[in-house]
Every structure is written in C-alpha cells, then in structure tokens.
Amino acid sequence: MQRIERIQQHLQAGAPTEIVIVAATRTPITKAKRGAFKDTTPDVLLRHVFQGVLAQTKIDPSLIGDVVVGNVLQPGSAAGGARMGQLCAGIPFSVPLTTVNRQCSSGLQAFANVASAIQAGFYDVGIAAGVECMSLTDMGGTAPDVCWEQVHANKAARNCTVPMGITSENVAEKYGITRTQQDTFAAASHAKAHAAQEHGWFSREITPVTTTRTTADGVDQQVTVTADEGVRPGTTVDGLAKLKASFKPSGTTTAGNSSQVSDGAAACLVMTRRVAEQLKLPILGSFVSYAVVGVPPEIMGVGPAVAIPAALKKAGLTIDQIDVFELNEAFASQALYCQQTLQIPSHKINPTGTTV
C-alpha cells in the first residue's frame, strides 16, 4: 500500500517529486551524406546541445546525476564519443554517461531512462539526449554475429532482417494504404513544416552549429547551420506521384513519402519539480507515462498504434484528451496506419510537420 501511495505521489501533477523538463534544444536536422553535417562527428553535435541546455538554465553541471544518450547506428565505441562530447561541453567527469539503443525510439528511451531513475530517487537532475550521424555510417550495414542456421529456421527471427523499406510496403499492402494516401500525407507534412519554418517556430528550439564541411573540390569550408535542410516547400501530391517506387517495382513507398536519412542531435534537462522550483527554472512539461510494446518485425512501423494506447491507459487518459500527437513518420504508410487505427484527427498529428 505504501508503494502504491508513493507512485501516486510521483504521478500527481504539481507534486514536489513530479518529473519535469526545464530546458530542451536540438541542432538543425541536415541531409545525410550531402548536407552541412556530413563531416561532423556525434561528439560535436552533442557538445552543442549539451551546452544549449546548460546555457538556457545556467545550472551548475555538477548537479547532473547522469547523462543518457540514445543512438541507433553506434559503433562499439559510441559511449566514448558521447562521453567526449559531454566533457567538451563542460560537464565534469564526475557526471556519468551511458548510451542506449532502442532503434527509432532511442532518444525517447534515453528520456524514459532518466525520468525513471529520477522517479526512483537515484538522482534529482539528468540529461536525456539523442544523436545520429548517418553520414558517417555504412548505410548498407553489416550482418550481426548470430547463429544464422537458428535464425533462418524461425520465421519471426528471420523477419528481423526485412529491410525498412519493405516493412513500409508490407504495412501498405496489409492494411490497404494507397499510394495517393501516402503522397497526400507527405505533401501535407512538408506544408506544415514549411509553415512552421516560415513562422520561426523551429528557431526557438534550435541551437545553431558552426562546423566544417568538405566541398566536392576537397576544400574545408566553415559553415554555421541554423535551419533544417529537409523541408521541401511547394511539395505537391502531383509532384510526388511522378516518383518511382524505391523498394519494389510494384510498390507504393518512394523517396517522397519516406523520411530522409539525416544527421542531428537533441537534448533536454530533466529534474524533479522541487529542484526546478528551488532553482527558479521554467517548467516546459512533465513526465506522466510511457510504454513500449513489441510488434512483428516485418511491419515494425505500426508500433505507435499499440504503444500509444498502452501509455494512455497507464496515465488514465484517452485519445480525445490529447491535443497534439508527435508521431514518428518513418514512412507515410505506417504513420497513416497509426493515425487511422487510433482515429486521431489530422490537425492533431504533427502540427509542425515531421520527417516524411
């Protein structure tokens, strides 16, 4: 009974132990392989976002109990690079750091880990971050060290090798998501993102990054990046309809209704409400609930359709009570499926656009 009461105190809005976000920032998101960050390493991007949240709050970095960084395409030394970025940002070596990989939701998992640790009382202040430098990664990837005889004998395990683009095609075919629906969704996403960019809404969350980019002529060029590169103003359904399918001849998934490969980083400073009020810091939001639910690998993008209801149930909320849903748009097919399954009105989905 005491444990239940303690959990209820943690979840109670306005309670001293409530988990809150007091600062958040991100770099611009650039095009992998050819964008402004194509030669920029993860430690540099992380340094900028770490310094960004520290600059916003002016807190003593030694108060931070842990730094957790989400990263998907990390080599074996990824934690080392993230640690270097932390130290270069002025966060002392006494503050520990770790990395976490939960594929597309690695950054979210980093936040969940920090929030959960604070909620459990292990520390009061933490940084959750995410970084990806797809430019510096072999996108073809290497086969994992597994027992392939065992994997090939198990269909579910074998489906873990299905390429991402084919998972999108699988979702479209299985649930009847048409090419026109996908292109319409993608065009709307770009229109929303362009409007947000024009109104300066993104500039409030972006920390500019000055870095070095090597030109096609081999000349090192210093650039300061202040805006996202992936927004395509003027994108139309008719224009997208002219693109060829990217993953199978008869498919409906194209470069235009899929997310671009990107480089970028983000971070947020998380703490208890008690500490935030003691430090007189603004409270941007609070942690209420989270959920992770597995789905068949061959249709991996449908995950939000089952994870969102699970998270809402834990919080005692319903779909109708949520004003805005920020939903990963890996592909228009899976984003549409999730929206339709959950019956979320279009105006509530990614109001400033997203990755497609």
Question: Tens digit of pLDDT for each residue in 245-295?
Answer: 999 999 999 999 999 999 999 999 999 999 999 999 999 999 999 999 999
Mean pLDDT computed over 319-347: 97
Residue 1: pLDDT over 50: no
Indicate if the pLDDT at residue 4 is higher than 50. no
CA dihedral 187, 191, 192, 194 (to 10 degrees): 130
The total of other beta-carbon atoms located within 10 Å of residue 101's CB is 15
Question: What's the confidence (pLDDT) of residue 7?
Answer: 45
Instruction: Give tens-digit pLDDT for 162-172.
Output: 999 999 999 99
List, in order of start, the domains of the chain with CATH numbers: 2-138+261-286 (3.40.47.10)
Q: pLDDT grade, residue 6 (50/70/90)? A: very low
Residue-level pLDDT at 355: 78
Q: Given a cut of 50, is residue 130 above it in pLDDT?
A: yes
Q: What per-residue confidence (pLDDT) applies to 79?
A: 72
Cβ distance 13 to 286 under 8 Å?
yes
User: Which residues have CB under 8 Å from 290's CB, separation 6+?
Assistant: 108, 112, 115, 311, 314
Torsion, CA 291, CA 307, CA 206, CA 324, rounded to 10: -110
| Bridge partners for 102 per DSSP | 104
Average pLDDT in the 126-153 region?
Answer: 88
The answer for residues whose C-beta is within 8 angstroms of residue 7's C-beta and 6 or more apart is none
Identify the pLDDT of residue 77. Answer: 61
Per-residue pLDDT of 141-164, as tens digits, reads 666 789 999 999 999 999 999 999
pLDDT at 356: 82
What mean pLDDT, rounded, does the chain reach?
94
Nearest to residue 83, comparing CAs of 72, 71, 73? 71
pLDDT band at 2 (very low <50, low <70, confident <90, very high): very low
Rounded-to-integer distance, Cα 247 and Cα 255, Å: 10
pLDDT(213) > 70: yes
So what's the pLDDT on residue 90?
98
Higher-pLDDT residue of 78, 30: 30
Query: Which phi and psi (to 5°) does residue 294 adopt?
Result: -80, 150
Alpha carbon of 181 to those of 61, 64, 77, 186: distances in Å?
48, 46, 42, 9
Sign of CA dihedral 25, 79, 106, 137: positive
pLDDT tens readout for residues 74-121: 776 667 899 999 999 999 999 999 999 999 999 999 999 999 999 999
14 pLDDT tier (thresholds 50, 70, 90): confident
Of the chain, the end-to-end C-alpha distance in Å amounts to 47
330 falls in which pLDDT band (50, 70, 90)? very high
Confidence of residue 185 (pLDDT cuts 50, 70, 90): very high
- How do strand 262-272 and strand 19-26 relate by DSSP bridges? antiparallel
Q: Does 11 have pLDDT greater than 90?
A: no
Residue 301 has pLDDT above 50, yes or no: yes
CA 44 to chain centre: 18
pLDDT number for residue 74: 79
